[in-house]
Structure 1
């Protein structure tokens, strides 16, 4: 079974492209939840409400966690961004592909 620690380890491979530091070490990842079926949910809170890189980081984070053995689904929610509604819609659209 996948654990919260497994998820955080996978997320440490995703770096902020401007800082070169993992999104976990920067404190951008919050509220990581993993249920018994392997459904994972977490938030990404950018340091800047106009961050141009948050969508790319969110897609990378989703893919990194999705690649873990035992993960059934991954939901990433971006909060604190001026375009969070549109970004979250794009993240959900990717699941439909």
Structure 2
């Protein structure tokens, strides 16, 4: 089973492209949850409600977590962005599920 720490360590690979600092170290990741079936979810909150890089960061975050051993499904939710509804639809329309 993948742990919360495993998820956070993987997410440290994703940096804010403007700051060059990990999205974890910047405090952008919250609400990390894992379960026994390999489902992972977390929230990404950008520092700026108009951040143009949030979709890139969220997609990268989704991929690095999906690459972890034992992860079957990843759900990323973006909060605090002026286009969060559209961004979350895009993220959910591109599910990463492994058998």
| TM-score (normalizing by structure 1) | 0.97
* C-alpha deviation, 1:10, in angstroms: 0.3
Matched, 1:73 2:68: no
Measured in 1, the distance between the counterparts of 2:85 and 2:58 equals 14
- Number of aligned pairs? 96
Paired position in structure 2 for 1:28: 28
Matching residue of 2:51: 51
RMSD of equivalent CA atoms: 0.9
Structure 2 gaps, min length 5 = none
CA distance in 1 between partners of 2:92 and 2:71 (Å): 17
Per the TM alignment, residue 94 of structure 1 is displaced from its structure 2 partner at its CA by 1.1
Ranges in structure 1 where 5+ consecutive residues have no aligned partner: none
- CA shift for structure 1 position 75: 0.1
**Which residue number in structure 1 is paired with residue 92 of structure 2?**
92
**Secondary structure of the equivalent of 1:95?**
coil
